[in-house]
Amino acid sequence: MGPFGHCALGLAAKPAAPRVPLAILLLSTVALDILAIAFGFAGIEKPGDAGLPWSHGLFMSVIWSVVAALLIGLIYRNFRAGLVVGLLVFSHWLLDFVSHPIPFASFSWRTWQWDYGRPLPSDLPLLFVGSPKVGLGLYNSISAVEATVLEVGMLLVGAAIYARYTLKQKRNRQRHSV
Ligand SMILES: [Zn+2]
């Protein structure tokens, strides 16, 4: 899934973790992609047959989620803040599991189309190199325009939840200061 769909969950999670800044919630949802870029630069993994096991493997995604949960839980001394951030990190894998494999190799930025509906190999490893790979392939059964509409829709719902929550907080604060 693209960044819009992932970030939508970060916006929607704000009411569940009021003390955690929105930037951290948003970064949590794309943490596995940030790791993929970092690991790519470090030469630890690269896109290809192995399918990014260190950043996008199910096993390592669980590990990264637990690490993020512990880190944020300790920083904010708040169990729920840690739990929410851990779940957001893991939400990336779940959304990728639904949407991958994505026919992105055939995507054209000019026409905003990709070549979907052909069998594509799954690309999310369960463990490490050589382990079985999974993915329900939603984005290989809809067009790039439909995928974009889905992601923008998710982002709008997330933004609406976030806006509703922050407006309510503002009103509460005004009421208390009167
Ligand atoms: Zn990803």
- Cα(3) to ligand 1 centroid in Å equals 8
pLDDT band at 178 (very low <50, low <70, confident <90, very high): low
76: pLDDT strictly greater than 70: yes
Check residue 88 and give its pLDDT. Answer: 98
Check residue 1 and give its pLDDT. Answer: 92
- Cα(2) to ligand 1 centroid in Å equals 8
Check residue 47 and give its pLDDT. Answer: 75
What letter represents residue 53's amino acid?
P
Q: What angle do CA 106, 129, 4 make, to 5 degrees?
A: 45
By the 8 A CB rule, do 9 and 29 touch? yes
What does the pLDDT average to over 130-139? 96
Name the more confident of 49 and 84. 84
Give 3-state DSSP helix, strand, coil % of the chain, rounded to 5.
65, 5, 30
Name the more confident of 155 and 47. 155
